[in-house]
Structure 1
Amino acid sequence: MTATKTLLASLLILGASAGTGHAAAIDPAKRAITHEDVWLMKRVGAPQPSPDGKWAVFSVTDPAYDSKEQWSDIWIKSLVDDSAPRRLTFSKGGESAHAWSPDSRFLLFTAKREGDDAPQIYRLDVASGGEAQRMTSLTLGARVPKWSPDGKQILFVSEIFPGNADEEAVKKAAKERKDRKHSARAYESFPPRFFDKWLDDKKVRLFVMNAQPDAKPRDILAGSKLAELPGFGGSQGDDGQSLNAVWAPDGKSVVFAVSTNRDQAARASTFTQIYNVALAGGEPTQLTKDGRSYHDLRFAPDGKTLFALTEEEVPNKVYDLTRVASFAWPFTSAQPKILTQDLDRSISRIALPADGKRVYYSFEHAGLEKVNSMNYAGGDKREEPSLPNGAINALNAGGKALVGVWESSINPPEIYSFNGAPKRLTSFNVDKAAAIDWQAPEHFWFKTPDGRQIHNMIVKPAGFDPNKKYPLFSVIHGGAANMWRDQFVLRWNYHLLAKPGYVVLLTDYKGSTGYGEEFARSIQYDPLKGPADEINWAVDEAIKKYPFIDGSKLAAGGASYGGHLANWLQATSTRYKAIVSHAGQMDLVMQWGTSDSIYGREVNGGGPVWSDLPVWREQSPIMQGGNHAKGTGFKTPILITVGELDYRVPVNNALMNFAAQQRLNTPSKLVVFPDENHWILKGENSRYFYNEVHGWLAKYLNN
């Protein structure tokens, strides 16, 4: 058996056996979780260790129900002793994109402070202290700063308006746009929207400047044919497009990954290739010429190897594993060496300690995520010492230090060291978590009638008594390329949902990640029926396996793809007494035409919406809603919630859903959040959402 197969086998055994014991005795000193517990837990960001391995900086958010009262600051923790972490900044606005100077003295970050119309780059002298200095003053802001290897220059991402050659032109164009008397938006390429924002015509660029306050930045892509291509661009985020870029080891050029076919997003998969541009500018050199996408570029400490995460972008497939690729540097071949080809899992993160001996990485599997490693050639794969449950959602190296964030559903995020046995370095949420009556999820697997192995977790309520009977709430994850993880979450928090006295069932139906490429791809041409069947089978298995579940009191709900499946369950089954659907699609054709992402839906359906493929009609919930003659259709009481600013699953889905329910006289309630997008992100809105969900379930389950 190979090392990889041994590793997967051990994980399968762990997933099957974890948490199988009965509930522990109830501690009367503990209490049930509240929304305040969920919302006000401190939110610990990804740690960034210093190049000398002595320090780690990270963000900590002090949440508040009123966003004006929320603080987010940079904290620092020694990695060489047990001294307590301390706060470096004191500002409500928050900082991001922390970057250490090569000598571990200075820290760059981006922030929007007093006088800033857009986020700018700031420099903090960590060694000597004092106030942070503003490094940039660009009209359109600056983000993702990175030091040059010699610490004398800074690379960062910013934007320009079409046709602008310098900052003065950008400033003039910005004023002209602000002074316009019309508010119209015009588009000639797709997409016009992203999540909760209408997009504009800004163009992403890479800038370099001397590492001195107010030094003049220089656009190193200016005048290049590459940057003028209609499809040139990077990944879209809340702050605009971003280009994944790193300094070459000699500091004489910049290596970056970029797409050149973004303008084809409505009719083709977009992908990113690797380029190299000289520090002096000029035409970038294309280093890779294949159908892959590359991102998370980083050089080995000795500068002789370029590592990247990559997806193959297989034509007409809906999901491709993320693998680790490497190239000799300087480039000797455009063909990558795929180091994790034998691992049927997507890699989440890689880290490269300064000893130059091993690549550390993590990947999803059956609700967990752990630290693993391999040598630079991709051999000698092994599982590193990790905690037995939970998940790592950030992993970074600095010097020989390896740090990350670890969390579980009953352990909110904290910073950990992974040099040897995992060691917790912070305790921001430990005391508050210890006061809550909650249990780790219990894992179980079952085999479907067609032979597929399905992983599940169940979460029990506070004060759980195995001799009592509890209603079951099957909560469905979104994605579908996603996985239920043993982690602490704000939205659809497992224990808060279970609080009124429900057992929560979390099923990784086909289409989920963490179980291999074929498993994730298996929803192609079967977007709703197959996954919903597996959710129903999981409910059957849970009722059979756990005598404390009351099989006569069932509910189901979810958000995004989970909302799609909730709508499908309501249309095709009458076994549930209540349904909750947030951001759920009702019609595949309508969702294809109004979402901010369309081509992947077409690939998943097997062809365009105007084809004669039956899936577009047969797996649209709205088309099944009137099947009362078959004993199904829209009968189950349903709570429909949606953010009015959701452009991923637009509000028209919820309006159609509510209209159909009311037309058929089905008990239904529509809740619209005017100031929310795909997720419920504001504190009081979140509190109201949970109250609505609990109220709806209580109305139909507690009788």
Structure 2
Amino acid sequence: MTLPRLRRALLPLLIAAACMPLAHAADTVAPVNANVSQTARHAITHEDVWLMKRVGAPVASPDGRWAVFSVVESAYESKDQWSDLWIKSLTDDAPARRLTSSKGGESAVAWSPDSRQLVFVAKRDGDEAGQLYRLDVAAGGEAQRLTTLTMGARSPKWSPDGKQLLFVSDIYPGNKTESDVKQSAKERKERKYSARAYDTTAPRYFDKWLTDKQVRLFVVDAQADSVPRNILADTQLVALPGFGGSQGDEGQSLDAIWTPDGKGVVFNAATNRDAFQRAAVPAQLYLVGTAGGEPQRLTQDAHSYGALKFAADGKTLFALSDAETPGKVYDVKRLASFSWPLVNPAPTILTAKLDRSISRYVLPENGKRVIFSYEHAGLEKLYSIDVKGGEVRDEPSLPTGSINSLSSGGKAVVGVWESSINPPEVYAFNGKAPKRLTDFNTDKASKIDWQAPEHFWFTSTDGRQIHNMIVKPANFDPNKKYPLFTVIHGGAASMWRDQFVLRWNYHLLAKPGYIVLLTDYKGSTGYGEEFSRAIQFDPLKGPADELNEGVDEAIKKYPFIDASKLAAGGASYGGHLANWLQATTTRYKAIVSHAGEMDLIMQWGTSDGGFGREVNAGGPVWSNLPVWRDQSPIMQAGNHEKGTGFVTPILISVGELDYRVPANNALMNFAVQQRLNVPAKLLVFPDENHWIMKGENSRYFYSEVEGWLAKYLK
């Protein structure tokens, strides 16, 4: 709900791209081309990674007959990128076909209740902001624009009768009508000064300076030229200084759905966003009529609720619940339900006995079981539970890899599955062996010389079971010796997953002849609530100790690892840990740090999130708690004179637009290396944020990492 606390994982990487026609696929196993011999396969290249087609999350039609999804084809130049919607039958083996042909791309796809029409968000014909478009899939023809709002529209939802649309948009303070919004936007554009002013909450988010826009819910008839209605206008709720929703790249968002009778809207919202720097900001549930009026608060606790869905019979409201436990840095997301109409504001927690965080869930037509997925030990598989609760049951899943989206319609369940050697494809999950429905990337993947990760566990000195994966290079020979590159995931509340990734692609990092080690240190997700909470009061030292232990275990277990040639690196929280390793040990020959913090106090004050860091440390920065100093990498610089740290050559990189881990961390890092005369190189990307998103920048980054490691490992 809130700007991410430390317990939240980073947002997934979004890459704009385009698509090409595909051949039909209907197998049920990972893509393997028996006609491609091992000798014909090649070591992975940056082009292989960057130009793989990006298959988006499929959306199943309500009747279960179709799935629509985006396919983007990346290019190194933005002008060459393209994105379109595709549609695939779920009742036969006919190949998918392209639905749209528009460079700008489409998002937030929603089916009409009769499964004949789609609504989506797109920028077309000079749109300055994303607008709602309707496409008649059954009759064909061009998409029709439904909104022309100054601030655009996002997150559309059809009403149960298919006559109206609910969506999210923004206004400026004091605006009543669209003409007011237009005038306010004009005034801001014509201002002769460029200053920004703030009097509450965080001024920045990720790579954007925030403005005074205010999020609202709108309803509009599903016809062109209809006038949207702000259903939260003039309410006491939105007048509260702390009213708002979760912050995203497109602005704040309110998770909202229609009530089963179509007469109201249930949504989540916070009322203390202005206290973001000093308190948790829970998202409670509210009900408002489609004609407007004062919203009714439905829940009366301090939890956060989201991912709202009604059962097909309209008698149960489901949500994911985050307990927002006071004084804790992490809570697992649990599946909750409410009888509808709501009588008791206290939810039934269906997965109370499951010590895992629910990633996503769907409600198939039979209404008897909830299908969901969660992370565990590098994988994400399918499970289910009775709608009344009970024991969790395994559902048919692929043995490796990760499910990263789910959608249901009728009896159909579809999603995207991928692994580190199988780029994303759409699959059907219908209680049987998963069936692959697309093959956008299978041919290209079959021609790459790569192996699935190998998993192993060890027990840390603190008694925790630690999961690891190793990735081997192309042309791997177990009789040879290979340097080890331990790559550290960010978060810290995330997990190394067996999946195909653009940033820090395991096989591309291993390509020069390295074994890549991926360790899920304490603080990672996928191993239970207490495992993730174990990072509290110990933000860097404990996790780094477990990383070092992971290296020790890998060396003992695999004789092909050269113990004299070790390197470590990571980004975001992984960069924090990379900096800590460089500051506290000399065992590594080279370090790579992207977007890594150097000083806990500086990061608390300059990042786009603060309170979660305070909770993690046990108190504010002025509380004189030792952790603020003792676990700041910069404060370990005295280790240089002792010969116990700050001696390893380090490659430092940062995006100037990174407000999650601002560039002052990288500058401080480079300064101390120069002060201590430690070999270091600083890469600054003026047009990048927390991630390296542009193709040529990514290619350059990988080449610099490869060159840095080669310089000190070979």
- Pair in the same fold by TM > 0.5: yes
User: How do residues 30-109 of structure 1 correspond to structure 2 at under 5 angstroms?
Assistant: 30-109=41-120
User: How do residues 257-656 of structure 1 correspond to structure 2 at under 5 angstroms?
Assistant: 257-419=268-430, 420-656=432-668
Task: Tell me the residue number matched to 1:121.
Answer: 132
Which whole-Å deviations, capped at 9, do the CAs of 1:57-77 have from their partners, x for residues lacking one?
A: 000001100011101110000
* Counterparts of 1:179 and 1:376, CA distance in 2: 55
* Counterparts of 1:312 and 1:380, CA distance in 2: 21
Task: Tell me the residue number matched to 1:135.
Answer: 146
Task: Tell me the residue number matched to 2:23.
Answer: none
* Counterparts of 2:463 and 2:240, CA distance in 1: 48
Which whole-Å deviations, capped at 9, do the CAs of 1:560-611 have from their partners, x for residues lacking one?
A: 0000000000000000000000000000000000000000000001100011
* Counterparts of 1:154 and 1:581, CA distance in 2: 46
Residues 334 and 358 of structure 2 are in contact (CA less than 8 Å); yes or no, is this contact kept in structure 1? yes
Which whole-Å deviations, capped at 9, do the CAs of 1:638-691 have from their partners, x for residues lacking one?
A: 000000000000000000000000010000000000000000000000000000
1:671 equivalent in alignment to 2:683: yes
Aligned AA for 2:658? D
1:210 equivalent in alignment to 2:204: no
Give aligned pairs, total.
678
Which whole-Å deviations, capped at 9, do the CAs of 1:151-170 have from their partners, x for residues lacking one?
A: 01000000000000000000
Aligned AA for 1:107? L
TM-score of the two chains, using structure 1 as the length reference: 0.96
Aligned AA for 2:142? E
Unaligned runs of 5+ in 2: 1-35
The partner residue of 2:166 within 133, 145, 155 is 155
> 1:629 deviation in Å?
3.7
Which whole-Å deviations, capped at 9, do the CAs of 1:321-375 have from their partners, x for residues lacking one?
A: 1000000000020000000010000000010011111100000000000111111
Aligned AA for 1:55? W
The partner residue of 2:254 within 243, 246, 257 is 243
Aligned AA for 1:469? K
> 1:114 deviation in Å?
1.6
* Counterparts of 2:300 and 2:642, CA distance in 1: 54
* Counterparts of 1:595 and 1:612, CA distance in 2: 21
Aligned AA for 1:82? D
3-state SS of the aligned residue for 2:372? strand
Aligned AA for 1:589? I
Aligned AA for 1:85? A
* Counterparts of 2:56 and 2:498, CA distance in 1: 18
Which whole-Å deviations, capped at 9, do the CAs of 1:599-625 have from their partners, x for residues lacking one?
A: 000000110001110000000000102
TM-score of the two chains, using structure 2 as the length reference: 0.94
* Counterparts of 2:534 and 2:654, CA distance in 1: 28
3-state SS of the aligned residue for 1:506? strand
Aligned AA for 1:534? E
Task: Tell me the residue number matched to 1:254.
Answer: 265
> 1:26 deviation in Å?
8.5
* Counterparts of 1:61 and 1:114, CA distance in 2: 20
* Counterparts of 1:109 and 1:189, CA distance in 2: 33
3-state SS of the aligned residue for 2:634? helix
* Counterparts of 1:67 and 1:310, CA distance in 2: 39
* Counterparts of 1:190 and 1:380, CA distance in 2: 42
Ranked by relative contact order (alpha carbons within 8 Å, sequence separation 6 or more), the top structure is 2
* Counterparts of 1:180 and 1:27, CA distance in 2: 63
* Counterparts of 2:143 and 2:187, CA distance in 1: 32
3-state SS of the aligned residue for 1:437? coil
Aligned AA for 2:340? W
> 1:626 deviation in Å?
2.6
3-state SS of the aligned residue for 1:56? strand
> 1:381 deviation in Å?
2.0
Residues 438 and 495 of structure 1 are in contact (CA less than 8 Å); yes or no, is this contact kept in structure 2? yes
Question: Percentage identity across aligned positions?
Answer: 75
Task: Tell me the residue number matched to 2:195.
Answer: 184
3-state SS of the aligned residue for 1:178? helix
Task: Tell me the residue number matched to 1:687.
Answer: 699
Task: Tell me the residue number matched to 1:173.
Answer: 184
Residues 640 and 676 of structure 2 are in contact (CA less than 8 Å); yes or no, is this contact kept in structure 1? no
> 1:633 deviation in Å?
2.5
* Counterparts of 1:372 and 1:407, CA distance in 2: 17
Residues 563 and 585 of structure 1 are in contact (CA less than 8 Å); yes or no, is this contact kept in structure 2? yes
Residues 260 and 310 of structure 2 are in contact (CA less than 8 Å); yes or no, is this contact kept in structure 1? yes
Q: After TM superposition, where is structure 1 displaced by more than 3 Å over at least 4 residues in a row?
A: none
Aligned AA for 2:382? V
3-state SS of the aligned residue for 1:128? coil
3-state SS of the aligned residue for 1:465? coil
Residues 26 and 463 of structure 1 are in contact (CA less than 8 Å); yes or no, is this contact kept in structure 2? no
* Counterparts of 2:190 and 2:640, CA distance in 1: 57
Which whole-Å deviations, capped at 9, do the CAs of 1:115-134 have from their partners, x for residues lacking one?
A: 20100000000001110000
3-state SS of the aligned residue for 1:610? helix
Task: Tell me the residue number matched to 1:230.
Answer: 241
* Counterparts of 1:333 and 1:151, CA distance in 2: 30
> 1:421 deviation in Å?
1.3
